[in-house]
Structure 1
Amino acid sequence: MSTNSSSTHLMTEGNILKEILLFSVPLILGNLLQQFYNTFDSIIVGKFVGANALAAVGSSGSLIFLIISFAQGAAVGAGVIVSQYLGGQNRNGVQKAVHTSIAIALFLGVVMSILGVLVSRPLLLWMDTPKEVLPESIVYLKIYFAGTIFTVLYNMVSGILNAVGNSKRSLIYLAIASITNIVLDIVLVALLRMGIAGAAIATVFSQFISCVFSMHFLLKTNESYQVSLKKIRFHKMVCIRIIKVGLPAGIQNTVIAISNVLVQASVNGFGATSMAGFGAYLKVDGFNILPVMSISMAVTTFTGQNFGAGKLDRVKKGMNKTLWIGIIYTIVTGALILLFADPIMRLFTDDPGVVAYGKQAMHYFCPFYWLLSILHGLAGTIRGTGKSIPPMAVLLISLCLFRIFWIQLILPHYTTIDGIFVLYPISWAVGVVLMILYTIFGHWLYPVNHKNKFHQE
Structure 2
Amino acid sequence: MARAHGNTAPGGPGARDLTRGPILKTLLLFSLPTLVGNILQSLNGSINAIWVGRLLGDSALAATANANVVMFLVFAAVFGFGMAATVKVGQSFGAGDVDAARRTFGTAVGFCVGLAVLVASVGWMSAPALLGLMSTPPDIYAFALAYLRVIFVALPATMISVMVSMGLRGAGDAKTSLYFMIVSVVLDCGLNPVFIAGLGPIPAFGIAGSALATATSSYVSMIVLVIYAYARNLPLRLRGPELGYLVPRMDELRYIVTKGLPMGAQMLIVSGAGIVMLGLVNREGSVTSAAYGASLQVWTYLQMPAMAISAALSAMAAQSIGAGLVDRLGRITRAGLILNCAVTGAMTALLLGFDRPVLVLFLGSTSPAVDMARHIQLLASWSYILFGMTIMLFGTMRAGGVVLAPLLVIAVAMFPVRLGFYHLTYPALGADALWLAFPVGSLAAIVMATVAYLQPGWKRKATAIASSRRIETEAAAECSAEGKPG
TM-score, normalised on structure 2?
0.80
Q: Deviations over 1:9-59 (max 9, x none)?
A: 011111111211121111111111111111222334445544555555456
Cα separation, 2, equivalents of 1:201 and 1:363: 40
| Conserved? CA contact 1:51–1:273, under 8 Å | no
**Quick check: which has more Rg, 1 or 2?**
2
- State how 1:266-285 maps to structure 2 within 5 Å: 266=280, 281-285=295-299
1:295 matched to 2:331? The reply is: no
1:445 matched to 2:459? The reply is: yes
Letter of the structure 2 residue corresponding to residue 438 of structure 1: A
TM-superposed CA distance for 1:151, in Å, is 2.2
Q: Pick one of 395, 400, 406 that aligns with 2:410.
A: 395
Secondary structure at 1:14 match in 2: coil
Q: Which residue does 2:338 correspond to in 1?
A: 324
Cα separation, 1, equivalents of 2:417 and 2:18: 37
TM-superposed CA distance for 1:210, in Å, is 3.1
Q: Pick one of 193, 200, 212 that aligns with 1:201.
A: 212
State the structure with bigger RCO (CA 8 A, min sep 6), 1 or 2.
1
TM-superposed CA distance for 1:315, in Å, is 1.2
Q: Which residue does 1:41 correspond to in 2?
A: 48
Letter of the structure 2 residue corresponding to residue 204 of structure 1: A
1:236 matched to 2:247? The reply is: no
- State how 1:143-292 maps to structure 2 within 5 Å: 143-188=150-195, 196-228=207-239, 229-264=243-278, 266=280, 281-292=295-306
TM-superposed CA distance for 1:112, in Å, is 3.3
Q: Deviations over 1:228-270 (max 9, x none)?
A: 4554111122222223322321233334434444445556667
Contiguous gaps of at least 5 residues in structure 2:
1-10, 476-486
Cα separation, 2, equivalents of 1:190 and 1:273: 33
TM-superposed CA distance for 1:195, in Å, is 5.6
TM-superposed CA distance for 1:155, in Å, is 1.2
Secondary structure at 2:464 match in 1: coil
| Conserved? CA contact 2:13–2:233, under 8 Å | no
The range that moved more, 417-426 or 293-302, is 417-426
TM-superposed CA distance for 1:95, in Å, is 1.9
Q: Pick one of 101, 107, 129 that aligns with 2:108.
A: 101
The range that moved more, 84-93 or 277-286, is 277-286
The range that moved more, 46-55 or 24-33, is 46-55
The range that moved more, 422-431 or 70-79, is 422-431
Q: Which residue does 2:86 correspond to in 1?
A: 79
Q: Alpha carbons of 1:367 and 1:47: their partners in 2 closer, same or farther (altered >3 Å)? A: farther
Letter of the structure 2 residue corresponding to residue 112 of structure 1: V
TM-superposed CA distance for 1:201, in Å, is 3.2
TM-superposed CA distance for 1:399, in Å, is 3.0
Secondary structure at 1:316 match in 2: helix
Secondary structure at 1:225 match in 2: coil
Cα separation, 1, equivalents of 2:340 and 2:377: 19
Cα separation, 1, equivalents of 2:373 and 2:118: 35
| Conserved? CA contact 2:12–2:235, under 8 Å | no
Letter of the structure 1 residue corresponding to residue 104 of structure 2: A
Letter of the structure 2 residue corresponding to residue 164 of structure 1: A
Q: Alpha carbons of 1:436 and 1:264: their partners in 2 closer, same or farther (altered >3 Å)? A: same
Letter of the structure 2 residue corresponding to residue 161 of structure 1: L
Q: Alpha carbons of 1:48 and 1:128: their partners in 2 closer, same or farther (altered >3 Å)? A: same
| Number of residue pairs the alignment of both structures matches | 454
Cα separation, 2, equivalents of 1:52 and 1:275: 19
Cα separation, 1, equivalents of 2:49 and 2:125: 24
Letter of the structure 1 residue corresponding to residue 110 of structure 2: A
TM-superposed CA distance for 1:441, in Å, is 3.0
Cα separation, 1, equivalents of 2:457 and 2:283: 44
Q: Alpha carbons of 1:343 and 1:437: their partners in 2 closer, same or farther (altered >3 Å)? A: same
| Conserved? CA contact 1:45–1:199, under 8 Å | yes
Q: Which residue does 1:17 correspond to in 2?
A: 24
Q: Which residue does 2:319 correspond to in 1?
A: 305
The range that moved more, 136-145 or 233-242, is 136-145
Letter of the structure 1 residue corresponding to residue 227 of structure 2: H
TM-superposed CA distance for 1:125, in Å, is 5.3
TM-superposed CA distance for 1:415, in Å, is 11
Cα separation, 2, equivalents of 1:387 and 1:180: 38
1:385 matched to 2:400? The reply is: yes
The range that moved more, 263-272 or 215-224, is 263-272
Cα separation, 2, equivalents of 1:278 and 1:136: 26
